[in-house]
Amino acid sequence: MFTQNLDFKTTDLDTFPFPFQSGNYRYSNDLRKLENVNCIEITPEYELQVKAKRRLLEEQPDVRFQALPGTDEFQWEVLEMLIGMAVERYPEHFSLEKDGNTWTFENRIFNEKDTFTFGDSSTLAYAPLNYIGRHFHNDFVLMVHRDNNFYLEVGQVSYAALFSAHWNAGMSFDEIHAPVPFVSRKGDHLVERIRKFLLSINPGEPWTRINWNLMADRWDVNYETMDIWEPQRELITPENAGKLVHLRVEEQKFYRMPRSNAVLFVLNTQFLPLEDLKLRQEWFDLTYSVLQDIPPAMAEYKGIAPFLPQSVEFLKRESESR
């Protein structure tokens, strides 16, 4: 059975998407153009993360993957894009042979080779996105564009942060984000602004933003396990926060799919225990500054209120002991 204890961390700090630019964090429409449009990344933790993700998908298929009927064609388009990116960036790890519609995809890291008929889902063991998603450590969410809004119609989610692919399936962008309470300085609702922005994304010009959270010794926190992780958060103390509390960073990338017109969310989730922030003093200082300045409403929304004071106390003690 998959253990939810967080037993891995990012070891190559150069690939860790550190989220803070200043010592004061507030919500904003922080989308920016993605410089490297290729979302496939092989990190030192690739195998560990992919194996853990596959285990979750096997043990909790209904929790971790959802696809509404009629989305196969959209999923094939995503499969084609991801394979293309993988082969282009890492030809030593991935290859694709095409013989008409007969495709053979090889993942040499896992020593796996699959042959299928492009466009025919019956030739795959899983739905197209559920199949290709098992070769990369990312989460994938496909939001279908309809009536000036986006609807979650396909999702493979193994790193939930107060989220559930099962629950959110079929919902609009606005419904999914209904609880987001934040407004801009001008009084605009943040979710509406971001939705409008996403509507303007063009094919070939992906955008990105970085989301962050804290995790109390958990791989993820979804609604399904709320009764388990909620009390666990009370176990955090200033003494153990350095090891158990992780800065969870979710690098979000948004791609407009040219054929379906849907927007694909590619989420790269990485973790760094608070004690490892000391490896980069600037990161430590920024994180300490941000965390001690989090407004109570934001701490509640992010679900970190029960262990934020202990985390800040750990950082304070470390700072004073320097």
Positions in the binding site for another protein (CB under 8 A): 27, 62, 68-70, 144, 146, 151, 153, 160-164, 166-171, 175-181, 211, 223-228, 230-231, 233-234, 250, 300-301, 303, 305-306
What DSSP assignment string belongs to 132-188? HGGGSSSEEEEEEEETTEEEEEEEE-SS-EEE-HHHHTT-BHHHHTTT---B-TTS-
Is 209 noted as a catalytic residue in this protein? yes
The first and second tokens of residue 134, run together, are 């098992």
Nearest distance, CB of residue 170 and another protein, angstroms: 3
Nearest distance, CB of residue 80 and another protein, angstroms: 22
Q: Which of 49, 35, 47 is nearest to 2 (CA)?
A: 49
Q: Taking a C-beta distance cutoff of 8 angstroms, is the pair 220, 63 a contact?
A: no
Through-space distance between the first and last CA atoms of the chain, rounded to whole angstroms: 41
Q: Taking a C-beta distance cutoff of 8 angstroms, is the pair 254, 208 a contact?
A: yes
Catalytic residue among 64, 209, 233, 256: 209
What's CA 33's distance to the chain center, in Å? 18
Contacts of 322 (CB under 8 A, 6+ apart): none
- Cα 269 to Cα 19, 184, 306: the distances in Å are 12, 26, 22
- Exposed/middle/buried for 231, CB within 10 Å: 0-12, 13-18, 19+? exposed
Nearest distance, CB of residue 300 and another protein, angstroms: 4
- H/E stretch holding 46 reads helix 46-59
Nearest distance, CB of residue 231 and another protein, angstroms: 5
| Cβ closest to another protein, residue 46 vs residue 167 | 167
Nearest distance, CB of residue 200 and another protein, angstroms: 19
| Cβ closest to another protein, residue 224 vs residue 285 | 224
Nearest distance, CB of residue 46 and another protein, angstroms: 22
| Cβ closest to another protein, residue 87 vs residue 183 | 183
Rounded to whole angstroms, how far apart are CA atoms 210 and 70? 31
| Cβ closest to another protein, residue 172 vs residue 287 | 172
| Cβ closest to another protein, residue 82 vs residue 216 | 216
| Cβ closest to another protein, residue 10 vs residue 222 | 222
Residues marked active site are found at 209
